[in-house]
Amino acid sequence: MAAEGWEPYPVSSTLDLGTSEGDDMRHYKTKWRIDDDGRECSKCGQYKSWDNFSNNKHGTRGKQSWCGECFRAYRGSEKQKDYHITDDGRECSRCGKFKPWGAFHCRADVSTGHMSVCKVCIKKKSQTDKKQGTIRNAELMRKYGITLKRYRKMLALQGGKCLICGSADTRVKNGGTEFSLSVDHNHETGEIRGLLCQRCNAMLGFARDDVSILRRAIQYLEGELA
């Protein structure tokens, strides 16, 4: 049941999402070229074949929207300086302070067996990124080619509610972080259809975006298939 007093905006509405006049959010398509042979990277804008994009089950056609080259650059492929490393500890690559190994998280895929950034610096950066929305912005750009600013405008235009059921999805994860509405998009074309709560987004996924399955589900609930 939709939330009381909630009305979805009509499909024919013309909505300004901060890019160009006359954008209809319900029919907003990514500006990137996407076809059977490949796509334009949403970071550098270059058209590349699909083998240049890492797998992402949530992304368009099961791929990241950033190419591998851009993703590696984002992760930090620049030349690293030489840090003081001994059997007792190492110099943190962020704050520059020498600390014992207990001050660093373990990491099996690096030569030292520990991360290069100390726990204190990681916590500080995590708090800063959360406050500024840095991680969320990068995630939205990689998966859907939209910025956090655009996401927030879409959310405001929807009144902060799911387009299907009208709920605000205020559930909280175990860590205390609130769920945010999911970006629903066509996995073949990359078309962004709107923001949905976790339950409604999962419903479409389980139905494989097949309208006939959803219609039969309605008939089943109304007792027409008995």
Q: Which two tokens stand for residue 217?
A: 């589900």
Count other C-beta atoms under 10 Å from residue 78's C-beta: 5
Domain boundary among 126, 145, 164: 145
Least confident of 170-184, 191-205, 208-222: 170-184
**Same domain membership, residue 126 and residue 84:** yes
Residue 112 and residue 39 share a domain? no
One domain for residues 155 and 226:
yes
Higher pLDDT, 181 or 4: 181
Of the candidates 110, 113, 94, which has an alpha carbon nearest to the alpha carbon of residue 102? Answer: 113
Q: How many domains does the chain have?
A: 3
DSSP string, 172-183: B-TTSPBP--EE
Judge whether 89 lies within some domain: yes
Give SS3 for 100. Answer: strand
Query: Where is pLDDT greater, at 100 or 60?
Result: 100
Long-range contacts of 46-55 (CB under 8 A, 24+ apart): none
Q: According to the per-residue pLDDT averaged within each range, which of 130-144, 154-168, 176-190 is highest?
A: 154-168
Provide the whole-model pTM.
0.51
**Tens of pLDDT, residues 185-199:** 888 877 889 999 989
Residue 216's identity, in one-letter code, is: R
Per the domain annotation, does 20 fall within a domain?
A: no
In this structure, the answer to whether residues 152 and 203 fall within a common structural domain is yes
In a domain, 22, yes or no: no
51: helix, strand or coil: helix
The parent domain of residue 134 ranges over 79-145
d(Cα 57, Cα 156) in Å, to the nearest integer? 27
Percent of the chain with pLDDT over 90: 35
Q: What is the pLDDT of residue 171?
A: 64
Segment 145-169 shows an average pLDDT of 88
Residues present in the chain in total = 226
Q: Of the ranges 77-81, 150-154, 160-164, 205-209, which one carries the lowest mean pLDDT score?
A: 77-81
Same domain, 156 and 170: yes
With a cut of 50, say whether residue 26 has pLDDT above it. no
Query: Of 78, 107, 135, which residue constitutes the final position of a domain?
Result: 78
Winning range, highest mean pLDDT, from 53-57, 129-133, 134-138: 53-57
Tell whether 67 and 95 lie within a shared domain. Answer: no
